[in-house]
Structure 1
Amino acid sequence: MDEIVSYLHRVPAWYLATIDVNDPTQPRVRPFSFAMADAGKLWFCTSRDKDVWFELEAHPKFELSGWKPGECWIVLSGTANLADDAQVSDAVREAGFKHMVGIGEHHSSANDGRLAFFSVKAGTARFCDIDGSERVVKLDDLA
């Protein structure tokens, strides 16, 4: 888990893909930049009023990809566990709040009801290299 979070922290933004609520044949991609490991889970943060939250509610499977020049790239697939939002720790909530405010979002506090957190279940990270090789890490094996 630490390797995955460390990689994502070294990339200014990676891209998370979901399925459009109104057109399930259309994927949607947007930049993300908050990831944190806590209690054996990988956590992400967004806002409840964003399309990504509605898309994950309708179709919780997602994939993200990012690349750090000079290194391999990462592809992480999984299912968003939105129900975990109710159990997110204060540490993740505070870090997510600070991050979101730091990138220009407007939230009143770490307990702002618009902040939304989800963990990853059934996740698989692939560290891929230009030579076609890849190393697979299953998140469930790390818990």
Structure 2
Amino acid sequence: MKEVLKFLTDNPTFYIATVDGDKPRVRPFGFVMEYEGRLYFCTNNQKNVYRQLKENPYFEVSTASPDGKWMRLTGKAVFNSTYAAKAKALEVMPSLKKMYSADDTIFEVFYVEDGEAVFCSMTGESKTVKL
């Protein structure tokens, strides 16, 4: 998991894909953290991405580094919007405090269950990491 977290934090704009009905939807994200041994992301429950993940929790994350390497992470979103998890997110990324608080009812955090990351490069290298 540390390798996945490092790649995402080193390349801080990554893209999360969900399904909306029968259509793919992709949007940029920029928050990730490790909490209680799991990889977490956050969102707002007023957004389409939240609704889409509640309807179909399977998602994929993709990002690339400037040196031509990329990673795809697949998994299932499990929401754990406890006060403690939200407080940790705000500690990890203090700029989120401009939008949310740990008591905020629209602030949601979720972790990756059954995650698998595939690291690739233009040279054909490939490595799979289970979360």
Q: Same fold (TM over 0.5)?
A: yes
1:45 equivalenced with 2:26 (yes/no): no
Unaligned runs of 5+ in 2: none
Contact 1:126/1:136 (CA < 8 Å) preserved in 2? yes
What amino acid is the match of 2:128? Answer: V
Percent identity of paired positions between Structure 1 and Structure 2: 36
Contact 1:44/1:117 (CA < 8 Å) preserved in 2? yes
TM-score calculated relative to the size of structure 2? 0.90
In structure 1, how many angstroms separate the alpha carbons of the residues matched to 2:93 and 2:126? Answer: 34
> Structure 1 residue aligned with 2:96, among 86, 96, 100?
100
TM-score calculated relative to the size of structure 1? 0.83
RMSD: 1.9
Mapping for residues 106-125 of structure 1, pairs under 5 Å = 106-107=99-100, 109-125=101-117
In structure 1, how many angstroms separate the alpha carbons of the residues matched to 2:60 and 2:78? Answer: 14
Contact 1:45/1:96 (CA < 8 Å) preserved in 2? no
Cα deviation, residue 71, structure 1: 4.6
Match of 1:85 in 2: 81
Cα deviation code 1:106-134 (max 9, x no counterpart): 33x23211110000000000111112221
**4+ long deviations beyond 2 Å:** 84-101
> Structure 2 residue aligned with 1:26, among 20, 23, 26?
23
In structure 2, how many angstroms separate the alpha carbons of the residues matched to 1:92 and 1:47? Answer: 16
Q: Relative to total residues, which structure has the larger strand share, 1 or 2? A: 2
